[in-house]
Amino acid sequence: MASTDVDTLLQQLSLEEKIFLLSGADVWQTQEVPRLGIGSIKTTDGPSGARGQFLVDGRPAAFVPSGACQAATWSKSDIQELGRVLCREAKTKASQVLLAPTVCCARNPLAGRNFECFGEDPFLSGTLATEYITGLQESGEVSATIKHFVGNEQEHKRLTIDAVIPEKALREIYLRPFEMAIRSSCPPDCVMTSYNSVNGLHMDMNAPILQEILRREWGFQGLVMSDWGGTNSTVESLLAGLDLEMPGPPDRRGKLLLQVARENSRADIPEVIDSSVRKVLSLLRKHHLLGLSEEEARESRTRVEVSSTSQADIALIRKIAADGIVLLKNEKAILPLGSADLSGRQVAFIGPNALFGPAGGGGAANIEPQYRTHPMDAFRAVARSQGVEVSAQHAPGAYSRKWLPKLSKQHWSLPASSSFAAPGDEKSLLQIDFFAAPDLSGPIAETQRRSNSWIDLADTSPKEFTVDPVPPFSFRITSVLTPRSTGTHSFSLCSVGASRLYVDGALLIENSRFTRLSEAFFTFGSAERVGTMFLTAGRQYTVHVEGWIRTDAEYHEILPDEVNPHFAAYPSVRIGYLEELPSADEMINHAIALADESEYTVVVLGLDDEWESEGYDRQCLSLPGDQNRLVDALVRRCRRPERLIFVHQSGSPCELPWADRVSTLLQAFYGGQEAGHALADVLLGVVNPSGRLPITWPRLYSDLPFASSPASWPDKDGTVHYTEGVQVGYRYYCHNPSKQPQWWFGYGQSYTRFSRTVLKLAAAGESWTLSVEVANIGRYAGREVVQVYGWPETKPEERQLVAFDKTPVLQIGSKTTLEVRVQLRDMARWEDGEWVLLSGNYVLGVGVGVGDASTLTRTIRLEQNRVFSA
């Protein structure tokens, strides 16, 4: 029988087998060693749930609220319970390792992956990450991977950028949430290094951070893996403590590392290899992937994925999505609408996100949801569940897409729409035929059917093409279009490699010799090319797209130096389509007319997974398209502007120049597959909003320090300087009182009113404890977040979040007392290589956000300096 003992296996493994274990076998799994009964670990993204094997068009999975939405709940218990849900979800995808949570701090609101993280504050992020990991790992069946370690606060040049971070900021802001989770009672089993460099060293080979801080200071015993394609060296990364190169086949290890080990030019190489192999084997042992039969070990890379989520888990997803919605303004007390007589009344839903709202951001967070819920339909359904029939009508009002919408069985803005279908298969959107030749010649090697026109072949190519190097294959996509309307219709292509689009055999888009890249396919795809054609309603048209990899010198000249072979090796395409639209004026006029004939109007604006995504940052804080123009027209021209309810959906702030002119405004972070139901629950009063902002909301991007300092954002000569130091988010505004944010970190309103009273402040050992009584003195049941900020009495500008808790639902007239503990270590600052808390008077303030923290304070004295070990 094969051994399950790590030391025994280390002795039995050949050098070549050890090397195999230190890199992935394919995109998501590690190598197996059948002769010794060693199986394969399967990883899965990630930030929005356990997606499973395929980045696009894979098996359905539970699409959970984004990290920003989770953070906006400020609920430790709910996030821990979500971890348990994700453990069960990962198991349905036959995975042992979930590539989450993301705990990088939101340094700049333009950063593309802000929606994935827990906001700008290291204490909030670290606390919630700890709860998330505890819930995920407590059964021992699934491991967490905290990421991206460290300094991955932007997507611009993310593979090569050098983040120059002062030591104080590195310790207090960017390392802090990782430290909190790793030094907790339930540390993550895995850490993922970021792509970027920090202070001159790529993170995969940053020994000062990986070895000195992560391993020695914090005592991390788990496995360190690279981000996908983020291993930048063979020997240096190994010596720095990077245990596993992902994905496979290996790029920097494999044969290269085997050659180094055989040459044995360094005496410590065998010992370091054994150390990393030991960590891989330990993780395998935890997940019962040692001691397998030879057949079981071989089959460990072919586990079957399923999709099964309980109703209780779905209820929690819906609850978190609703509790993460932040009520920013309710000046006319229009909300909740459940208090009004809506029966038989018409409610207008206006805006580009009103009919089909986004579930989440893009990139690694992409998921094929089990289903989607959208604002208007969900509103009708929730009202009906409350015994009220509501008439709801829609008008888009504005167009806000970055690219033409992907092919769909339903148009982006209209219920009755053009349709696409694979030939002979109405259930599928399109058919892909693959050829083992670069020119679509020879027999068809494989046929696939898909339901998404974003065709990323990095992990969905036929098995015979997923080898290193990738062979020169090609493909032909076929779909049958039945237009809804007669007129000039638009098609588009973005591609990695060459592509062409034909309609009924006529070449419409030639994209085989493009010379400019765009943000598509993680910034390695071509710019979108658009072609138009007059089409007749009801007639069927055959659409063909051909694709193949480009090998010409011109193509390689336009690829950036930082090109990641795992993103750019496979020919891939994104196909868009749009029927002829009315003009911007016509869309706005239609929206105003609908609003005027309706009892209430819900205007749903914001961003989506094309604007917020892995791979690129936003270029400005403005709302895309004509959304600001739509709002301005509605506010100025509607008959009853006080009946306008604005909902902004995004993962991070946008400039809202009209915010002071509207009376009702909600911020809905991406809520996953239950986003529509959650919004309806809040609008109708089924749920009283208890979300609080996990980020500070600027009025203008020009108010932020990055606006006047290109070296601090996005970069200067490949280096980004964190010149603001620790003044991130609310800390910046506290140190610059002449500038005021739109809304402070921690801000959020409720449909009810709460009173807060500090009953007692006591010092005991290493902590101070506040006893805070919270009473519901309003008209609705609801939850309140108790936020505690601390600062030296003489330096109020240095306030920082040091504790928080959330009440249970308080009924009208009821109250509860929360014991909120402030650890002295969390009050300390990094000075000269150690954590220091100086003697003196300290203020603890309780408020709804940083800006309110001075309204209810207590002062306590620290008699002597305290120094805490690193």
Catalytic positions, written as ranges: 227
Find all residues with CB under 8 Å of 764, minimum gap 6, and list them: none
Task: Identify whether the C-beta of residue 66 lies closer than 8 Å to the C-beta of residue 651.
Answer: yes
Asked if omega into 150 is within 30° of 0 (cis), the reply is yes
- Bridge partners of 645, per DSSP, are 602
Q: Is 311 helix (H, G, I), strand (E, B) or coil?
A: helix
- β-partners of residue 481 are 420, 541
How far is residue 286's CA from residue 265's CA, in Å, rounded to a whole number?
Answer: 34
Amino acid at 629: R
Secondary structure letter of residue 217 according to DSSP? I
Task: Indicate left, alpha or beta for 832 from its phi (over 0: left) and psi (-120 to 50: alpha).
Answer: left
Q: Find the length of the chain.
A: 870
Q: Residue 128 carries which DSSP code?
A: H
Task: Provide the pairing of β-strand 190-193 with 223-226.
Answer: parallel
| SS3 assignment, position 395 | strand
d(Cα 648, Cα 76) in Å, to the nearest integer?
25
Which runs of E-coded beta strand occur in 527-594?
529-535, 541-548, 572-578
250 preceded by cis ω (within 30°)?
A: no
One-letter identity of residue 31: Q
| Widest pairwise Cα distance in the chain | 83
**Dihedral sign computed on CA atoms, order 418, 424, 426, 432:** negative
Provide the 3-class DSSP secondary structure of residue 675.
helix
Strand ranges in 724-839 using DSSP code E only, listed in sequence order: 754-764, 767-776, 785-792, 800-806, 815-823, 829-831, 834-837
Closest to 276 measured CA to CA, from 653, 13, 567? 13
Token pair for 411: 């148009």
d(CA 707, CA 723): 12
- Is the torsion defined by CA of 651, 655, 657, 661 positive or negative? positive
Q: In Å, how far from its chain's centre is CA 80? A: 18
CA distance 11 to 189: 24
Distance CA 826, CA 867 (A): 12
Separation between Cα atoms, residue 6 and residue 665, nearest integer Å: 57
Helix H or strand E encompassing 379: helix 375-385
Residues 298, 39: Cα–Cα separation, whole Å: 7
- DSSP character at residue 672: G
Q: Which residue, among 276, 197, 274, has the nearest Cα to 232 in the 3D structure?
A: 197
Sign of CA dihedral 313, 316, 318, 324: negative
* Cα–Cα distance for residue pair 529/511, rounded to 1 Å: 7
Nearest-angstrom CA–CA distance, 444 and 583: 44
Cα 398 to Cα 412: distance, rounded to the nearest angstrom: 12
Residue type, 162: D
Please tell me whether residue 443 adopts helix, strand or coil conformation.
Answer: coil
Rounded CA-CA distance 108/653 in Å is 10
Rounded CA-CA distance 393/707 in Å is 41
The CA distance from 730 to 293, in Å, is 56
